[in-house]
Structure 1
């Protein structure tokens, strides 16, 4: 385990690098149960994360040493727990804006928080919120970005991409971490300002498949509808030929 700092996020950020761990989110969660407090902005980064998790219990598959896999500690006590989706929107926007600027191509947010370039996934976010009564105690923001990996398992090969596949060169992962954290800081400041409407509008404009007819799976039935946006609580809004319906994460899936 190696610890170092870089300036910027939250006035000097502590970065703890683990050579190998099942999950940086799990590691950070266990550390938080101990008596020693961690500063907001602390990052746990893994060289080899071999059991990372995505949405709906999916496994995040990452080749050791090739990708950006880390968890960030935030203390969003200024937010009401009912506004949890605003944090998801802010973190998704940070990653999408960072990738768009670096790759010079639009990065889209596949609801709620996967990041796509074209029709291929390049990254994902998993946020674990820790609440104490009616207070938001902390949030563990797990982020995985495909960086220098160019080969993927057969199950995801046709639907995954990486920074290297787009730029055709290797990138230095510690440098990418510092750059991404600066984008996270910017969006977190917007979140702290309380301008949720602007945040949500920005998020909506970057949605993958926004305004397009697409096939979705609802109750094991394939249905075609147009994605029109999200509600303030983060439910996906679909227009089925003039009939508007909103869905939770467990109620609908994209059909690839």
Structure 2
């Protein structure tokens, strides 16, 4: 297990991408930083984290030998690895807010940014960025955010959490490599936040509507049961789940 520790960097994903361009990077190489000056989230959002209190890191995953047609299964693997890790630390009421925000007690504790690399017209590698709120106690103007310490009352060792996450990534990537897609999808869907509960959504035009989350497609689209008993699929750019 190769872990590169930095005091500060712009983005661990960017650092790992630059590294992989210039040299051969071993599978599951991780880059961990105390301070990320330009952390990125989904859809171009900014990931802000208090220095040395949280886990901001990225993992390089070689997937060239994997037969992956639908990249969302990579997202499922990472979400499940994080859930397994957090359960092992007795974090309660865990769920995945589609597509891959990790919640505890309905508050966000982890965000994921996956950047896939293509070579020879197939998936070659993934750079998996994770921002996990661990020991931070205050989240100004972020009422829906929390941390492992706020939830559990414990102070966590960041190195220990990192090692357990990588171990669980290996576990679920092995399931993916063996082609057990149904196992991954079943576990992922069972963990979806507000699955089978009436919820309010907002579409790309800003209009709100009601529906019930039923699952996800192989491509990662959210499947919502609408009022006319029709299940419609939405991608990340066209729908937002409102609390």
TM-score range, shorter chain: over 0.9
**What is residue 201 of structure 2 aligned with on the other side?**
216
TM-score, normalised to structure 1, is 0.91
Q: Distance in 1 between matches of 2:3 and 2:84?
A: 22
Write out per-residue CA displacement over residues 165-220 of structure 1, whole angstroms, 9 at most, x where no aligned residue.
Answer: 11212111011111111111111111111000111011000001111111100131
Partner of 1:166: 151
The CA deviation at 1:80 is 4.1
> Is 1:111–1:208's contact at 8 Å kept on the other side of the alignment?
yes
- Aligned partner (choices 176, 183, 191) of residue 161 of structure 2: 176
Moved more, 138-147 or 101-110: 101-110
Say which of 225, 235, 241 aligns to 1:239: 225
Q: C-alpha separation between the residues in 1 aligned to 2:237 and 2:91?
A: 33
Shift of 1:233: 1.2
Kept in 2, the 8 Å contact 1:121–1:161? The answer is yes
1:19 aligns with 2:4: no
Question: What is the distance in 2 between the residues matched to 1:122 and 1:161?
Answer: 5
Asked if the contact 1:53–1:60 (Cα under 8 Å) also holds between the matched residues in 2, the reply is yes
2:40, 2:82 → 1: CA distance?
Answer: 18
Task: State how far apart, in whole Å, the 1-side matches of 2:206 and 2:93 are.
Answer: 31
Deviates further, 74-83 or 139-148: 74-83
Unaligned runs of 5+ residues in structure 1 are: 1-12
Which structure 2 residues correspond to residues 37-116 of structure 1 after superposition, within 5 A?
A: 37-116=24-103
Q: Distance in 2 between matches of 1:93 and 1:169?
A: 23
Q: CA RMSD in A?
A: 1.1
Q: Is the 8 A contact 1:103 1:163 kept in 2?
A: no
1:225 to 211, 215, 218: 211
* Cα displacement (A) at 1:153: 2.2
Residue number in structure 2 paired with 1:201 = 186
Provide Cα deviations, 1:106-165, integer angstroms capped at 9, x if missing partner: 3111111100012100001110000013221111000110000010121x1x10110101
How many residues align structurally? 241
Structure 2 unaligned segments of length 5 or more: list them.
none
Aligned residue for 1:160, secondary structure, equals coil
Q: Separation in 1 of the partners of 2:116 and 2:15?
A: 15
TM score, norm. by length of structure 2? 0.96
Give the CA deviation at 1:81.
5.0
For the residue of structure 2 that corresponds to 1:92, the secondary structure is helix
Q: Distance in 2 between matches of 1:229 and 1:101?
A: 25
**Given that residues 91 and 148 in structure 2 are in contact (C-alpha distance below 8 angstroms), is that contact kept between their aligned partners in structure 1?**
no
